[in-house]
């Protein structure tokens, strides 16, 4: 059974919060809530819409949950205080640092609806110099650099997709905890007025948008944003599909995991998010099955591609990046080969999220938690290494300390150089992600896994 977004992510989005004995919080205060299964969250009561309760997470995201699924005590509280809560999170409080603790898997759940908050898409104009192709705008978590001037109303609609995707990835029980790069302050995106300037920036010619991990920037041409020039003004087509945008933003939000994950998970998770029904800042995440079936239907109608075209399942799962690129870049049927890789990756990710084992995605969450643990080791080491380098800079300024080149230096005997941090024993590469696939196999042979995949999809009317 699915539950709304916040019970899956509250501990990820909010710092731990305890109520003082005998002190009842006001309706608009951050409060602990409990569902009928005993799972907890931290959020503000924003109001009631029929039989749905509207909550505001500490990250500024608005989420809904059925009143009947809350504990009796919380239902009573809402019936007494169920009016729109005054105020809300303070401006600028939307980007919450990681708590350092992860919600236990058994307390995570899949969201029904994920909706972006109004505050997240408020636009700030930082700079507008069209003659220099430098127009900079900001939403809550993104900074957009455009080659041409865009009206705030247009930028708000563009930001709606970006910020909604951030809300979705944070809401999914994958435990990704997307946070903007600390040194940049916000996620970076660059908009190009022409395909020529887009390709000149290094983007693939046949792409509609691309995320470069090297500079952590999402590049996208105006065309892929649904922008149309009428006279001297750019207008946005509200009916334009945002598939590519959602896909690449997902990569951007999962940047810290890209160095560990096999390519099929990187692309499969992005295909998963882009397939979820979306409209005007609202993801119908609970309709993921209909999104899958529509995706399969489109592949068959547009490209005559079916599930029968898939390669061996274990072969696909254990495929290295080099092998992936070799298949995708084969001049003979390049586009079709690429689409087949993406198609099978999405189907696999969907299986592990919703059809494997207990149907709750437990093995997939355990796998991603292993990636998060490895990522944390790397982050801690990188922090200590940065501190060491700073300490060495100060050490080199001391009298008698000389740099000899090639990393060598001399110093007086009475001085002691800062100790270099010990590098943790870790692979810190995609090989680590491939090695940890045993978590997903969980003792099953390739044949048993394939049989489980077939039976899983059979339950929802799909034949593998």
Give the whole-angstrom CA distance, residue 337 versus residue 32.
49
Q: Write down the mean pLDDT value for the chain.
A: 83
Give the whole-angstrom CA distance, residue 132 versus residue 135.
8
pLDDT, greater one: 265 or 389: 265
pLDDT at 90: 32
Weakest-pLDDT range from 69-78, 286-295, 315-324, 364-373:
69-78
Range 261-277 average pLDDT? 96
Contacts 24+ apart (CB under 8 A), 360-363: 360/109, 360/110, 361/110, 361/173, 362/105, 363/439, 363/440, 363/442
- Give 396-419 pLDDT, tens digit per residue: 999 999 998 877 889 999 999 999
pLDDT at 301: 93
pLDDT at 297: 95
pLDDT at 218: 94
Give the whole-angstrom CA distance, residue 346 versus residue 332.
23
pLDDT at 56: 73
Query: Confidence class of residue 277 from pLDDT cuts 50, 70 and 90?
Result: very high
Query: Confidence class of residue 29 from pLDDT cuts 50, 70 and 90?
Result: low
pLDDT at 453: 95
Weakest-pLDDT range from 106-110, 159-163, 168-172, 386-390:
386-390
pLDDT at 237: 83
398: left (phi over 0), alpha (psi -120 to 50) or beta: beta
Is the pLDDT assigned to residue 19 strictly greater than 60?
Answer: no
Contact in structure between 312 and 264 (CB atoms under 8 Å): no
Is the pLDDT assigned to residue 100 strictly greater than 70?
Answer: no
pLDDT at 332: 63
Is the pLDDT assigned to residue 87 strictly greater than 50?
Answer: no
Contact in structure between 276 and 285 (CB atoms under 8 Å): yes
Beta bridge partners of 309: none
- Give 330-387 pLDDT, tens digit per residue: 766 667 888 999 999 999 999 999 999 999 999 999 999 998 888 777 667 777 877 8
pLDDT, greater one: 376 or 276: 276
- Give 116-156 pLDDT, tens digit per residue: 999 999 999 999 999 999 999 999 999 999 999 999 999 99
pLDDT, greater one: 11 or 254: 254
- Give 193-224 pLDDT, tens digit per residue: 999 999 999 998 888 899 998 889 999 999 99
Give the whole-angstrom CA distance, residue 337 versus residue 329.
8
Sign of CA pseudo-dihedral 116, 239, 346, 426: negative
Give the whole-angstrom CA distance, residue 164 versus residue 282.
7
């Amino acid at each position: 059974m699915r539950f709304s977004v916040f019970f899956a992510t509250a501990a990820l989005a909010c710092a731990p919060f305890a109520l003082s004995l005998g002190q009842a919080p006001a309706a608009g205060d951050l409060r602990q809530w409990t569902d009928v299964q005993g799972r907890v969250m931290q959020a503000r009561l924003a109001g009631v819409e029929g039989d749905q309760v509207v909550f505001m997470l500490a990250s500024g995201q608005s989420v809904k949950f059925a009143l009947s699924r809350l504990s009796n005590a919380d239902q009573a509280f809402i019936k007494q205080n169920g009016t729109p809560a005054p105020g809300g999170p303070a401006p600028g409080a939307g980007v919450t640092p990681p708590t350092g603790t992860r919600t236990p898997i058994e307390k995570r759940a899949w969201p029904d609806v994920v909706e972006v908050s109004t505050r997240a898409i408020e636009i700030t104009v930082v700079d507008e110099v069209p003659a220099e192709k430098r127009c900079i705008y900001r939403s809550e978590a993104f900074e957009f650099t455009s080659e041409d001037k865009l009206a705030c109303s247009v930028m708000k609609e563009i930001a709606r997709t970006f910020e909604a995707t951030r809300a979705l990835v944070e809401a999914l029980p994958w435990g990704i905890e997307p946070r903007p790069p600390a040194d940049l302050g916000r996620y970076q995106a660059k908009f190009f007025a022409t395909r020529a300037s887009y390709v000149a920036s290094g983007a693939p010619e046949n792409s509609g948008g691309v995320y470069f991990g090297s500079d952590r920037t999402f590049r996208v041409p105006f065309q892929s944003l649904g922008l149309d020039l009428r006279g001297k003004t750019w207008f946005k087509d509200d009916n334009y599909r945002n598939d590519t945008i959602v896909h690449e933003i997902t990569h951007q939000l999962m940047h810290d995991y890209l160095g560990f994950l096999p390519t099929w998970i990187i692309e499969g998770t992005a295909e998963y998010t882009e397939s979820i029904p979306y409209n005007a800042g609202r993801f119908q995440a609970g309709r993921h099955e209909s999104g899958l079936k529509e995706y399969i239907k489109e592949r068959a109608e547009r490209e005559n591609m079916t599930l029968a075209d898939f390669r061996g399942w274990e072969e696909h799962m254990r495929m290295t990046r080099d092998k992936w690129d070799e298949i995708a870049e084969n001049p003979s049927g390049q586009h079709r080969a690429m689409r087949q890789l993406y198609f099978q990756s999405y189907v696999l990710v969907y299986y592990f999220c919703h059809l494997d084992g207990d149907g709750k995605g437990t093995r997939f969450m355990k796998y991603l938690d292993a990636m998060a643990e490895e990522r944390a080791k790397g982050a801690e080491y990188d922090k200590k290494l940065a501190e060491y380098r700073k300490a060495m800079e100060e050490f080199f300024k001391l009298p008698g300390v000389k740099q000899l080149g090639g990393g060598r230096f001399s110093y007086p005997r009475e001085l002691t150089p800062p100790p270099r941090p010990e590098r943790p024993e870790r692979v810190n590469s995609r090989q680590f992600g491939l090695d940890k696939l045993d978590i997903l196999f969980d003792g099953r042979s390739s044949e048993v896994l394939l049989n489980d995949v077939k039976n899983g999809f059979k339950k929802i009317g799909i034949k593998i």
